[in-house]
Each structure stands twice: as C-alpha cells, then as structure tokens.
Chains A and B, each alone.
Chain A
Amino acid sequence: MKTAIMVVIIIKKELREILVSGRYQFAALLILMAMMIAGWNSAKTAEHLKSLSSQRTSIDEARLSEQARSLVSVAFNGRSALKPQDNLELLVGTSEHQLPDQIDVNVDQILTIRNGRSSNPTLSDLFELDWIFVFFYLVSFAAILSSYDAICGEREQGTLQLVLGNPISRESLVLGKFIAIVLSLGALAIVGSMLNLLVVWLIGSVSVSSLDVARILLIWMVGLFFLAVMVGLGIFGSSLFRSSVSSLLTLVFVWAVMVQVIPSLARSAAEELEPVPQQKTTQANLNATLVQMSKEEMSTRPAVNGSRVLNRRRNPPSPIELHYFDYQIRMAALDRATWDDYYQRQLRQARFAERLTWLSPNWLFRSATETLAGGGIDWQLSLFEQARIHRNTLGEFIKQQDQLDNQSPHIYFVESSISERPVNPSLVPRFRYQPAGFIQTLAAAFPPIGLLVLIGFVLLGLSMVVINRYDVRN
C-alpha cells in the first residue's frame, strides 16, 4: 500500500516535470503535426484508391461481358481476385502499397500476381505517412529521448542521492518514472490519432464501422505496449550507464539498428535461408518436362485412321482425341502444381523474413498493427488461398454450364473441349474477398503482441535489477 502511494506521488511529480519540459513540447508539436498531415494524406489516398478500384471493377466487368460470348473464353481468360482496401488500412497504414493486391486466375491456374496500385519505384523505400509511420519513427524516438536520462540524468544533477534518501524503494522510482513517461507520451499519441481521425472525418472519404472502432482501440493498445517497450529500453539504458550522454548515444544507435538494419538483414537472410528459385529457372525446368511429356504423347498416340482433326468440338470424342486430352490435362496439372508451389514458396519466404524482423520491437509493432488493420503478409496468405478457392468455384461453374451443351465432349479442363456457346455474364461467379473475422484477426495478431508485452516486461524487470546495483555517488 505504502509503495503504491509512493509510486503515485512519483508519477505525479514526474508528469508535472515532463509536461513543462522543452523536449516534451517539441515532441508534442512534431507528433500532432505529423498525425494531422497523415490524416490529410490518408484521406486523399483513400479517395484516389477508391476511384482506382471502381475503375478496376468496371474494367473487369467490361472484360467479362466481352468474354461471355463463349464459355471457353470465360474459362481460360484471367479472372481477377482483388483484395479491396480495408477501412483501417489507410489510416493505420500497412505495407500494402508494396504488396500485391490482385491475383488473376483461370479455371486451370494462377496467371499473375501483381500490385495494381501504380507506385513510384524511386519513392517506394519510404513509408507512407500514417499511424504506423508516426509510432514507428516519431513516438518511439520521442520515448527514447524522454527516458534516456531518467536515472543517470538525476545522478549527474545530484538529485538521485536526495531522492533515494527518502523511504522510496529503487524499484518504485523506476516504476513511477516508467509509468509517467508512458502516460505522457501515450496521451500524446492517442490525442494525435484522434486528431488524425478528425481530419479524415472532415475530409470524409473513409467510413468507420463499429467493428473498426474495436480494432482501433486494439491498435491503440498495441501502440501503448510498443511505447512501453521503448520507454523500458530507455530506462534500462539510463540505469545501465553512468553518464546520460553515453546512454543516449547507445540508445539512438540501438534504435537505428532496430529500425533499419534488422529488417534489411532479415531480407537478406530470408533470401539465403528460404531460397526461391528464379522465375526463369522454374520456367525452364517446367518446359523441359513438358517437352518430354509431349514426346511421350506423340509416341503412344493410338494409331487410328482418319479423324486427326483436333480443333472441332464433338461428343463423343475419338480415341485419338481422348488420348490427346488426357495429355493436356496432365500437362496443365503439372503447370499448376509448379506455379502454385513457386508462389507458395515466395509467400513462405516473405513470412519467414517477417518473423525475422520480429527481433526488432519496431517491426514487431508494425507487424501486429498491420495484421489488426487487415494488411500485411498474414492476409496475403489468405488472399492467395481465397484465389485458389475461387479457381475451383470457377471450375465448378464452367463444368455446370458446359453440361448444357450436348456437342461439347465434357472433358475438363481442356481448351478445345469446352463449349463455345455464349454464357450469361451475370451468372459467372465473382470473387469477393472475405476479410478475416474479429477473432481470427485477433488470433493472427496475438503472437507479435504477446512478444511485445514480453519484451516490455523483460526490459522493465532488467531495469529493476540493474537499478539495485546502481552507484548513485557523483
């Protein structure tokens, strides 16, 4: 009880000091301004992307109604599986602008995976301005600048001896300072994000549902955990070093490593440890096998007189056609398996790289937040799976339509054996991206959040251990 009161007193005293300090005011200015500019930026980007996506949908529809003149054309031309913009994605910000958002599939295979947002390759190394940017760079830096001298600064000024002369345990001093800094900066960050929401609401291009509000609250919570980790790091540094200058030097360096060096190394490491063969090599290997298969087909083709024409649809097909169709189906299966595997390996590689970036709290935060906001590698996996399911749905539809045509040989899926009759374009199944449910999102975001909390506790605990060994003499 007594300690609790003590801690509260320390927090109050610290809060007052922080609020009037120059660095806090400067941080407030920077963070609030950045949040407001970010709000304007997200709202504008949302408008731009919205028009872009409606354009894409209408283009897709136009393509479909052209292709609907024949069923086989619907079956073998690409149908786009688009990942629509999540409401929070722009506000909170994700790495979506560098990830694919469109997978084109036909009944047989995945045709392309691409990023349909036009982005500037010279600028793509920079983050967009959004919540993640503000937390990732500004709030975390402010946390370090506010906490690097928490203990050693007091020692340098000689006040630490005085403070510890009172009946205060060293742990409660650390805890009080920790809580005070987290509260002051956390309030700043949350007020900033509210301002950001206000700006977005005023411009009025993003609508937020009640479930989104729950996610926003969660994101704030993760933001606070992240802030706590950075403050914990700062306090740990300040109780490890005797001079505040060396504390700050070390902390800023560690910060730069966490922000820039770890992700780049993770990228190189993932390329080394989870290699994906080059597209060219994959294609060449595939081609070699296909040529082999084609030769086999030629040599084992049944010798039947006449009926060598393969480009006419007829039911039932001749034996020679059946043989040929069988070959085509095997060929397509191999093609499909190869490319599915290739893309899955790319996804696995990226996921592995993401896991490696978890060594850095900044990237841990980013990972957790973007998962909550409906973006990032986790949902790329989901998009990929959904596109594959869509491929099957499309296949079922084509089979069902093809059954209506008596002349078609009903062999699936061979280009020259599917009906050429027109099809009603409104019947063709459309891809609809299923965003993950709240529970699923939570489950996906849990590991990074848990790690973040764990790191926070470890740092705080370490600071408490180290402070007890701290030499307070000048």
Chain B
Amino acid sequence: MIKAVFRKELITNLLTYRFIFGLGTVIALTAIVTFPLVADYEHRLTTYQEAQTNAEHLLTGVRVWAELEPILSRRPSPLAILQQGVEGKLQPTITISPGQPVHLVGLDDGERRYLEFLPNFDSTTIVSMLLALLALLFSFDAFSGEKEAGSLRMIMSQPIRRWKLLLGKYLGILTTLTAMLAMGLVGSLLILRFRGTFQLNEDEWLAMVVIWFLYVLYLSLFLLIGLVCSALTHRSNLTLLVAMTCWLVLVIVWPHVARSLAEQVNPLPSLQRIEREHEELDRQFATQVNGYDREHNPMYKPENQGKFYWGMNTGDVRTHSLANTFYIVRSDFPQLIEHRQQLREFSEPLRVELTNKVEQLYADYERRLWQQTKLARLLGCPAPVVLMRWSTAVLSGTDLSQYLDSASAARQYRLLVLSYLERKGFGSVDYTTDQYRAQSQERADHSSDEEAPALPVSDLPRFDPPNDSVQERLQMVFLPSGGLVLMNCLLLAIAIACIEHYDVR
C-alpha cells in the first residue's frame, strides 16, 4: 500500500511545474557555482604544488644548519567546491624554523582584502537555503492541500492506515528531491570532467557520497517540517505561511543569533596585543644577544685594540632578531669564528625559548577561536543548517578544526626539528659558518666565492600530517550527523502523531 502511495506521489510530483522549475534552478545554480569554485581550487592547487617543489628544493640546498627551514603546506581539498569552509581564508603554508612561531591566524593574510564583504557561494549554501525552501514547497500541501481539494476524504475511505499514507507521501517527495539533487550532482560532475585537472581519490569519492547523503537528510528534515505544518493546519495557504516562517527562523534567524551570542559570551583576544608581545620579546632577544656580544667579542677586547678596522672581513653582523634565523659568518679570523660559535650557543636556546612564548600566545588565540566556534555550533544546533554545515565542512576537509589539527601537528614537528638542530649543535661550525669557508681557512684561499656543498638532511625527521582519512572524518561528524538523523526520527514521529489526529472534515 505504501508503495502505491509512493508511486502515485512520485509520478504526480515529477509532472508538476514545481519540479521542472526546481530542477532548472538546481542545475543552473550548480553550474554557475561550480566554475569559479573549481578555478579557485585549481589556483590553490598550483600554489600548493609550487610550494611543495620549492620546499624540496630548499631542503636539498641547505649549506648551514641555520638555513634549514622546512615548509609545510596543506594540500587543498578538492571537496571545497561543495563546502568552502575556511579554505582560502586561512594560510595553507607553515614555515618551521627556530625563530618563527607556528601560527594559523595572523593579522594580514588573505589576498581579497575588499571583496570579502560579499558572501561565498557553494553547493552547501544552495542546498541549505534554496533546496530547503523547495523541500517545503513540495510538502506543504500534502494534507491541507488534499483536504481543500477534497481528495483527502476519498483516500481516507480506502483501507489504508494513515501513517502508511504519510510514509508513502514522505518517500515519494524525498525521492523527487533526491532526483533533483542527483541531477545537480551529475551536472557539476560533467563540468568537472571537462576540466581535466580535477581529480578525486577513493576517500574523497566516499566523502562526497556521504556529503550528498547528508544533503538528503537535511532536505528530508525540511520536508518533514512541511508535512508537520501541513498536518497541523487546515488551509494550504496558512500551511505555506507557517512553513515559510519556520524556514526563516531555522535557516536565517537562529544561526545569526547563535553567532552573535557566541561572540559576546566568548570574545576573541586582540591579535595586535600578540603582535606587540612578539615585538617586545624580539627586542629582549636583541638586547641580550647584543649584550653578550659586547662582553665577549674579541674585537672589543682592549688587548685587540687596533687589530680590527672597518672594511675588514670580520663577518660582524649587528641585526639580532627572532625571525632573522641565520647569518653566515664569513670571517677571516679564527678568533672571531670561535666567538660566533659561543654566541650561537648562547643565542639559539634563547631564541627558541622566546619564540615558544610567542607561539604559545598564538596557540591560545587559536584555542579561543575554536572554543568560540564550538559555542556557536552548540548554540546553533537546534537549527539543522548549523549541523549540516558543520558536518559537510568536516567531510570536505575544510573545517577549522582540521586546520587547527595541522597547526598543532606542525608545532609538534617544530619541536622535532629543533631537537634535531640541537643534536647537530647550535655551536657547531656547520650551524652558521659556511663549510667551505672553514675548510679553506687552512688553504688560505679567501678570495673564492664558491659555494659550500649542501649538508646531508636525509636523517631529518619527516613531517607526519594528522590523520585525515575518511574514517577519521566520519568519526568527527558522528555527532552532528547523528543529530540530523535524530531530528528526522523525531519529526517523523511528530508527523505521524499529527496525522493520526488530523480532522479530515
């Protein structure tokens, strides 16, 4: 019996003007949206590939240990065409070095300084706004409309249970909507096929399927809201009014209010403060290193008075700052080289210590950022759109949490690199002094500008990116998508309860 209702409902829906209109909208919008998003993705991908090759190149060309600065880049997610998330808003590359704190959020990043005031558009936005509206449009007159038309009494006189009728209608409309979504998907996949550079691996295909499944879940929720409204009211006109109001509150008002509440309850600290703190530590570093230098540099010793003069190759560099990680001492004087080594022994641990302090500030900021986001999501979770956006962002690999995970993995990795450098010895000749120079000292060949051979970096620890497999992502979205499923069950139960009490007169 359900099957009969389902078939009838499906066929009626497919023939309506509404369906054709909805289908046209979905296909047109997906097509329009896919082009710029794919172009954006391709741009990010080339940047990533360039950064990768560049990083490899830098690693093989290290001539002194202080030059060792591995660059980590986050692979852009192709699924960002479904949900942009924070992709493009946060820096994808992180440089690892003793003097640079690892941080994700800074004051100046982002190229589009002025265009940001316009909203981003992706499939998730289309589904969460327009398709949710369509879902309501398909379901609002399921009962009240049939009642007005007088056909509801006819159906009810048939030997069919009311809940079966509801289920049949529900499944029929859901299939219609799924068909529409699938068409949109096929449309965008066709576009992607024409652009050859776009490729997905198996995990991403799976994530994409799950995302489309979540879209269906979300739409089913709005469909059920429409059915409940329909089963509570007696005129289709009124049903539509109520359904539209529900849509406005659930899709627009609630998430905005949740955002504002979260921002007020859990405000972010000032980034300027952190920048300033960084500057101050930087200065502290310079003062201490300069002080040490003044005290121990043989150039300033009274017994060496007059031995050094300006213009001599003393290798004296006077800029000390946290970020200036290295300078290569090209000195002709063994005394000075020895002093440089001691200075390094003194300055490098200090640099690491102070940079760690700055890094801690940024890490705290990121923690606060994540807390605010979590709070906004928690407050927003009665609105299905928040749950849906949350889970699709995680599944497409563009969620803030995933970026934060990479940042903390990078911080771990930085510690590994630092201990590696420490093993190599901050005070060793290889740390800052050009090897070739050191050797040529004995040969008294000062004029040569030949470059020193590269240092072997094969024993450098490799960066282990955080686990970002599809299983991991699925685990992460268990909660929000579970919430969506739960809401669906709840609304289905409510709809059945309502329809059982519906007065068909």
Contacts and interface: CB of A to CB of B under 8 A. Distances in A.
**A and B bind:** yes
A267 B260 contact: no
Given A252-B133, A346-B112, A37 B117 contact: no
Given A120-B369, A120-B373, A252-B244, A309 B263 contact: no
A20 interface: no
B116 A124 contact: yes
A260 B113 CA distance: 21
Contacts of B378: none
Interface string A150-165: 0001001000000000
Interface stretch (A111-119, A188-196, A327-335): A111-119
Interface in A243-267: 244-245, 248-249, 252-253, 256, 260-261, 263-267
B260 A52 contact: no
Contact of A263 (B89, B119, B141): B119
A6 interface: no
Nearest to B399: A122
B119 A260 contact: yes
Interface string A433-451: 0000000000000000000
A309 B7 CA distance: 91
B118 A346 contact: no
Contact of A52 (B240, B270, B400): B270
Contacts of A309: 310-311
Interface string B226-248: 00000000001100110011001
Q: On chain B, which size bracket covers the interface?
A: 35 or more
B253 interface: yes
A95 interface: yes
Interface in B331-386: 365, 369, 372-373, 376
A145 B121 contact: no
B419 to A, nearest CB: 32
Given A30-B253, A137-B252, A141-B248, A113 B113 contact: yes
Given A116-B107, A116-B271, A122-B86, A350 B241 contact: no
Contacts of B130: 253, 256, 260-261
A369 interface: no
B107 A98 contact: no
B194 interface: no
B272 A347 contact: no
Given A245-B240, A248-B241, A118 B268 contact: yes
A128 interface: yes
B237 A260 contact: no
Contacts of A349: 114-115
A129 B111 contact: no
Among B111, B115, B310, B372, chain A packs the most CB atoms within 10 A around the CB of: B115
Interface string B258-280: 01101110011111110010010
A23 B244 CA distance: 11
Interface string A127-147: 111000100011001000100
Contact of B89 (A100, A114, A124, A377): A124
B270 A55 contact: yes
A245 B256 CA distance: 28
Contacts of A121: 86, 89-90, 105, 400
Given A126-B255, A129-B260, A256-B130, A353 B244 contact: no
B86 A245 contact: no
A26 B89 contact: no
Given A118-B269, A309-B311, A267 B114 contact: no
Binding site of A, secondary structure by majority: helix, strand, loop or mixed?
helix
B150 interface: no
Nearest to B111: A279
Given A118-B270, A120-B373, A245-B236, A129 B256 contact: yes
Interface string B72-96: 0000000000000110011000000
A402 interface: no
Interface string A58-74: 01001100000000000
A145 to B, nearest CB: 6
A248 B118 contact: no
A44 interface: yes
Contacts of A40: 264
A133 B256 contact: yes
Contact of B117 (A99, A133, A256): A99
Interface residues of A, number: 77
Contact of B260 (A119, A128, A249): A128
A245 B114 contact: no
A56 B115 contact: no
A149 interface: yes
A137 B253 contact: yes
A16 interface: no
B264 A44 contact: yes
Contacts of A138: 248, 253
Interface string A365-399: 00000000000110010000000000000000000
Interface in A159-195: none
Nearest to A244: B237
Contact of B129 (A52, A260, A267, A278): A260
A55 B276 CA distance: 10
Contacts of B262: 123
Contacts of A271: 36, 115
Nearest to B114: A350
Given A122-B400, A252-B133, A268 B36 contact: yes
A244 to B, nearest CB: 6
A125 B263 contact: no
A41 interface: yes
B111 A357 contact: no
A153 B241 CA distance: 13
B400 A350 contact: no
B455 interface: no
B403 to A, nearest CB: 9
A259 to B, nearest CB: 8
B115 to A, nearest CB: 5
Contact of A126 (B111, B133, B256): B256
Given A55-B273, A59-B276, A249 B137 contact: yes
B137 A59 contact: no
Nearest to A376: B117
B369 A99 contact: no
A55 B252 contact: no
Interface string B97-109: 0000000010110
A145 B141 CA distance: 17
A96 to B, nearest CB: 9
A321 B36 CA distance: 51
B283 to A, nearest CB: 8
A126 B311 CA distance: 61
A245 B255 CA distance: 28
A125 B119 contact: yes
A128 B376 CA distance: 13
Contacts of B86: 121-122
A295 interface: no
Interface in A267-288: 267-268, 270-272, 278-280
Given A126-B256, A245-B141, A100 B113 contact: yes
Nearest to B248: A141
Interface in A82-109: 95, 98-100
Contacts of A244: 237
11 contacts: A23-B245, A30-B253, A52-B272, A55-B270, A98-B117, A122-B373, A123-B372, A125-B120, A133-B256, A357-B118, A376-B117
Interface of B: 18, 25, 29, 32-33, 35-36, 43, 47, 85-86, 89-90, 105, 107-108, 111-121, 125, 129-130, 133, 137, 141, 236-237, 240-241, 244-245, 248-249, 252-253, 255-257, 259-260, 262-264, 267-273, 276, 279, 310-311, 365, 369, 372-373, 376, 393, 399-400
Identify the 8 closest CB pairs spanning chains A and B, nearest first: A264-B121, A350-B114, A95-B117, A267-B118, A118-B268, A114-B108, A121-B89, A268-B36
Given A249-B137, A380-B114, 4 more contacts: A45-B264, A123-B263, A265-B121, A268-B35
